[in-house]
Amino acid sequence: MNAASPNGGGEPVSRNIVRAEGRVTGADREAHFGHRAMTVWFTGLSGSGKSTLAFALEEALLERGVAAYVLDGDNIRFGLNRDLGFSPEDRTENIRRIGEVCRLFTDAGIVVLTAFISPYVADRDQVRAIHPDGAFVEVYVDTPLDVCEARDPKGLYVKARAGEIPDFSGISAPYEPPPSPEFTIDTSQPLDACTAQLLAALPLTTGR
């Protein structure tokens, strides 16, 4: 399945391109790194703890010799997606682009951890569809709204409640929870406990 593209379709605009295939396979990269490659996709409301948990998991994975890297929603908007806002269309394009980046990371043999609100089920499903089977792990950070709002680390809920942010997920714009994520976690519990749960659950061992 092809992900949606800015021109409204799923195919590249150019017809004068051909995919290049290298000689190093995914199995070769797994053997080199000693673990499976995958995208661990954290989704949830602002303030739910996605970035905090992703960075903690990255640190724990690196300590165990796993090649891992975090892609954070705000960080991506400073560079790759700096031309996008928060309209529904821009949100969809934001996730389409980062999904392709995640696919490249996974193909390179890396465990890539993402921290994006990614409010729409269809957008997340498109990202899953471009990954090999088993290489996309959706983690729903199901922290209650009142906890997220009490944290309000960026002061965004205050602005959203005041009507200053018109497209704020969970307040002035929709958030669609995953119907069947691989994992659901509530960061109201201690960070170390959340990290340990995910470490124990991730299918990192090679099975080829």
Instruction: Give catalytic residue positions.
Output: 118
**Is the four-CA dihedral 106, 108, 109, 113 of positive or negative sign?**
negative
DSSP state of 67: -
Strands 38-43, 68-72: parallel, antiparallel or unpaired by DSSP?
A: unpaired
Residue 98: CB partners within 8 Å, gap ≥ 6?
71, 76, 80, 81, 114, 116, 127
22: its two tokens: 């290298």
> At residue 77, what is the residue type?
R
> CA 65, 66, 70: angle at the middle one, nearest 5?
130
Q: Which helix (H) or strand (E) holds 173?
A: none
Instruction: Residue 23: count other Cβ atoms within 10 Å of its Cβ.
Output: 5
